[in-house]
Structure 1
């Protein structure tokens, strides 16, 4: 074997090894992290006294105890957002928005979907988090009899009173008027923060808004799966030829001298 060929093969071995090192680093960076946002902690950790619907994250949370309490209030100091902007929101509907707030504020498992943004109140956001289809359908069903005046709740409100009220030209209607399907609700309401998953329950491929902490946090494994996919950690098919190459180089080195 000529020297250039050998050097090429050795360089390829090194490159693949470096790629795996970088992908492992990237995968680590996407796991067990908090967003750089208004009320998030810098790092996740235990918060034994998280309040109410935020309590499933108490073993490892990006939210503080105070944030968990405020997540349950209407027009809280978190964002001065009024859930009752079109009259009293049904309690069953409001529970989903509280749970949505808890997931956003408390979860350390959203790393694969965190994106940089340039906004006054946060430097990072989530985008296209694969939300459990069943969670989305329940959310939509429980909100069908509640009213709203907008399909995108991130922008376009009247804030002159200090909290959100409906724009003058936007009338209040039942949720299905602005969100005709569950997918419209979950995908559109927070500017594509969520994307309803097509995977079925039990697949481990979507983030659960609701879960029983007695059985652990299922979103940890989901984040690991997507982090590995996004970082290319698997490098499918790379290791068999890499091993064959290494053995070939070793055999050639042991069989004959090289002219350098």
Structure 2
């Protein structure tokens, strides 16, 4: 009987852990634990230019939004013009991308823990609306770069990123032959191009009109509910098995 008592205690503890699991509410209206993010989202009345759509509820400060518009800013010392002058139409997308990353409180479903010196969390496979990716690629295809993954592998000896030795500058469409290649690969799969379009409620918009509200709130809510629902469904077999085992032990 001692072994039955031990198993009973083990199962009671396991059952308690399963039944007391709570919804993952931290997926909504949250900021990443990263280099320049605020601890919690909130209003910022004077966010700069392309970051202004997030001013009602932002994870970025006013100063971060200003720096997002500068070349080789203090944010990351990143040089957009590492292969000559980037076309202004192309640079607008990278500024908007930076604003989304720094300011959005709607990326919670895709936040992942990382062990990096400059941040503790990142986003992975954010479903970017297909039009946003397509236009980004079209506006950048005639600008030049020397790498496909801009997160790593640069020469930082000058204090900002330069092309590594033995790499060559080519047009974007050489390194990124398709829109998906650009959006999926450039930031280590931070984005994953969606099959859904803008306004669908199923993909994150990098560009939106704040006068119409923030469409990414609905998107984050949908994926958070999907993930929480999946967690509950996955827990049911374990719960059922624990109940059967408890009934057997009590007989």
Q: TM-score range by the shorter chain?
A: 0.7 to 0.9
Task: Look up the match of 2:229.
Answer: 232
Q: 1:122 aligns with which of 119, 137, 141?
A: 119
**Compared CA separation, residues 167 and 233, structure 1 to 2 (3 A):** closer
Q: Mind listing any 5+ residue stretches in structure 2 that lack a counterpart?
A: 1-14, 234-251
CA distance in 2, matches of 1:168, 1:94: 24
CA distance in structure 2 between the partners assigned to 1:134 and 1:200 by the alignment:
6
Q: 1:107 aligns with which of 104, 107, 128?
A: 104
Instruction: Give structure 1 stretches of 5+ with no counterpart.
Output: 1-14, 237-260
Confirm or deny that 1:55 pairs with 2:52: yes
Q: Distance in 2 between matches of 1:235 and 1:38?
A: 33
Find the counterpart in structure 2 of residue 35 from structure 1.
32
Q: How well do the aligned residues superpose, as a CA RMSD in angstroms?
A: 2.3
Does the 8 Å contact 1:23/1:232 carry over to 2? no
Equivalent position of 1:93 in the other structure:
90
> Contact between 1:144 and 1:174, CA under 8 Å: does it hold in 2?
yes
Map 1:180-199; keep pairs closer than 5 Å.
180-199=177-196
Does the CA-based 8 Å contact 1:31-1:223 persist in structure 2?
yes
Q: For the structure 1 residues 75 and 39, does the alpha-carbon distance in structure 2 shift closer, same or farther, using more than 3 Å as the test?
A: same
Q: Distance in 1 between matches of 2:111 and 2:95?
A: 21
Question: Residue 66 in 1 paired to residue 43 in 2?
Answer: no
Q: CA deviation at 1:232?
A: 1.3
* Residue in structure 2 matching 1:162, options 159, 164, 182: 159
Does the aligned pair in 1 maintain the 2:31–2:40 contact within 8 Å?
yes
SS at match of 2:114: strand
Q: CA deviation at 1:235?
A: 5.8
| 1:150 alignment partner in structure 2 | 147
Q: How does the TM-score come out when normalised to structure 1?
A: 0.81
Provide the rounded CA distance (Å) in 2 between the counterparts of 1:110 and 1:234.
Answer: 19
How many residues align structurally?
A: 223
Offset at 1:234? 9.5
TM-score, normalization: structure 2? 0.84
